[in-house]
Each structure stands twice: as structure tokens, then as C-alpha cells.
Structure 1
């Protein structure tokens, strides 16, 4: 059974810190720390409206948690910006919206005429379309911002080192390099790493962006030494 992300509590659509921890693969204590930090930053009025301290039970023991409105949820997870986290945010946003629509439908007067019902439905559809369009634009901007900041992860760095080793050995062993200039593989390694860093304007290869990973791997696979007398470190 799929986990319920949001729920109704005292006629308010909320989620809680335990659910956030589970869905974003974080320790609950770390989410509690984030909540308390943001409550301090947000101030008393906002915090009282949007955060509610409660408890949950594990094996007969009571532990603290926080219930969060959609506004509080957005504030807490704003900095969770891995690609997986963005997809999880979208699921929460959709669930908040679905639950609010459900509550509104339950509160609608039973005696509403067919004309009034149709008008209400049209207004809701227009509003939802506007909200979705806005959300899509926000998500696109968020993804663009993430792509501009995330650098190579450990596995990508390892793959890049392996590709450099493979390319250097191929050039050296198949006599594809002028050995009067590159006296040993160390000089060849130095030339390749320097050209790679220059191409992506970084001071160290781990600072290459993830979005440029495939392109950088192609650069390595097709690289040929172009500088004579390159200085080695």
C-alpha cells in the first residue's frame, strides 16, 4: 500500500516530519533540526500557524514530531535539491492539492444547482491549470538551477579516472604520440588532465558539472595531445 503523504487533521491538510524523513531518505532527528531552525527564522506568528508539535509511538514509546502545513513543508524542503528530492516534492505538492480539493468537495452545499456546480467546476479547472502551469515553470527553474550547481559524484569521478587511464595507455602503447616530446606517460597524463580542466574551466576535475559528464567522457575518449613541451607539475 502506497504511503499517505498528507492527511487531514482538525480540518487542515498537513504532513508530518516523520513522513518527510521517510520520503526524503533522511534521519528524523535531522528533519526535526531543520524544522526548529526554520521556525526560529520564520518567527512566532508564522510558526504557530504552520507548525504543530505532536507525538508518535514506536514500540510503546512516545517520540516528538511536527505536523506541517503546505507552507511549512515548502519552507523545510526548499533546500532538498537532489533530482530524487525534486520528484518527491512534486508528489507532495500534488497530494496537498488533491486533498484540498477533496475537502472542498465535501464542504460544497448539497443543494447546489447544476448551473452553480458547472460554474464551480469550471473555476476550479481554470485555477488548477494556472497552478499546474506555475508549478511546471517553478520546477523547470529549480532543475536548471540544480544542473548549474551539482558537480561529479564519486562514481562519475571514478569513471572519469578510468577513462583517462584507458586513453593514455592506448595513445602510448599504440605509438599515437610523439615520444620525443612526451618522454613518459606522466607527461601525457598531465597534458590530458590540463586540457580537460581548461575545456570545462575548472581548477580540478571533480568540479566538472554532472550535466557535462557525458560530454567530458567523449572529450577524453577522443583526446589527442595538442601542446608541445607542456609543463608538468
Structure 2
């Protein structure tokens, strides 16, 4: 089936690294790297059960790929947490569920009649909806918990450094600091960084939480030095 996310391999529901790369809009080499990292972390026993190396062919040349069980898939894509990635993970969860039910039904010797089939499909649909709703709540709580702990990313750190540079130069060049107290622009930088870290109770500005980024930027834009000679480099 075209565009099938999960397929049956030897009566096991699996996906593969090519499908993951395509659906999560990632380069295949990056997905392979993520898989190998998680295999190393998970250990040999888990990896042998859940990751199966194989190959695919392009223009007569063989390239490596991996088949992944649901457990392996969950481990690899756990850190893919953009909004789009979360929606894609939900689709995979649904497809793993359906494929497992399909494999189980294929192995049952007794064939269901039309009424039983309809009832089974209705039950599966209800169960899938309940599972997805539960997954959405778990993801929502996980993102909420992560937001409380995430510190500034690289782009936010760069933006903060630029804001500090801009503020210090503005204060210095417009004679808005007591140059007898601060002596050099470097001391003004030190004063601003110290006040910023003290305000957010961190030992390095990079440890400021992402949720406080906008507030910290406003703090920088409105900062003025204290004219009591107590600031130090």
C-alpha cells in the first residue's frame, strides 16, 4: 500500500527509517544517526529485538536502512516535539494499533461474520479514539512539564547577547552612565549581566528558562546602571 506508515513483517507490526525520514521531513542519514545513538543507549538485547538492519536499492546501488518495532520507533522519535511531529507520531500510533489488530485477526482461525466484523471495527475505532485522546493529554502534560524546565536555545541566547550589546552601547554613547564610576564599557557590560543573572537567580544567563525569555529581553531593554559605585566587574 502506498504511503503506508506501518506494515506487517513476519507477523510483526513495523515501520522503517525511510518512512520516518519522509514523514518527519528529515534527512535519512540523520534518522540513521538517531537510531544508532538510541541502539547504543538501549543495549544489545533491546536493539536485537526491536531494530532490524536491512537495505534498499537506488539505481542499482544498495543503501542501509532499519526496520523498527513500535517500541523502537517510540524511542527514536521521542525527542521530535514540534507540533507537526507530535501529530505525525499520533498517526503512527494509530497505524501500529491497526496493524497489530490486523495481524491478530489474520492469526485467528475462526472467521467473523459480517455483523461480528462491523462490531469489531466499531470497537477498534472507539478504542483508537480513546487511545489518541489519552495520548494527546499525555503529550500536552509532557510539553507543559518540559516548558517549565527548558532553558534558552541557541537563537535565544544570541538574541539576548545582541540586546545586551545594543543596550550597553546606547547607554555609553549617550552619556547615560556615570563614567567616573564605571570607567570602561566593559564594567557596564559586567553590571548588566550581573543584574540579569541576579534577577532570574541563575549562575549563567544561558540557564534562564525559555518561558522567561520575553520578560528577560524587556529587562535588558529597560535596564539602567545603579549610580552608587557598588557595581563591579
Asked whether the two chains share a fold, i.e. TM above 0.5, the reply is yes
RMSD across aligned C-alpha pairs, in angstroms? 3.4
Deviation, 1:118, is 6.1
- Separation in 2 of the partners of 1:137 and 1:30? 30
Q: Distance in 2 between matches of 1:183 and 1:59?
A: 69
The 1:36/1:110 distance shift into structure 2, 3 A limit, reads same
Deviation of residue 99 (structure 1)?
5.9
Unaligned runs of 5+ in 2: none
2:56 is paired with a residue whose SS is strand
1:97-132 CA-partner distances (Å, limit 9, x unpaired): 14643785795966322xx56644553344223212
The normalised TM-score by structure 2 is: 0.75
- How many residues are aligned here? 224
Q: What's 2:71 paired with?
A: 71
The answer for the alignment partner of 1:156 in structure 2 is 156
Shift of 1:38: 5.1
Change (3 A) 1:7 1:102: closer
Correspondence for 1:193: 193
**Once the 2 structures are TM-superposed, how far is the Cα of residue 133 of structure 1 from its aligned partner?**
2.6
Alignment of 1:1-233 (within 5 A): 4-21=4-21, 23=24, 24-25=26-27, 26-27=29-30, 29-34=32-37, 36-37=39-40, 40=43, 43=45, 47-48=48-49, 50-78=50-78, 80-81=79-80, 83-84=81-82, 87-98=84-95, 100-101=97-98, 104=101, 111-113=113-115, 116=116, 119-226=119-226, 228-233=228-233
Once the two structures are TM-superposed, the CA of residue 7 in structure 1 deviates from its matched residue by 3.2
Rounded Cα–Cα distance in structure 1 between residues aligned with 2:6 and 2:98: 13
C-alpha spacing 1:175/1:91, structure 2 compared with 1 (3 Å): same
Gap regions ≥5 residues in structure 1: none
**Distance across 2 between alignment mates of 1:35 and 1:65:** 15
Give the distance between the partners of 1:127 and 1:103, measured in 2 at CA: 13
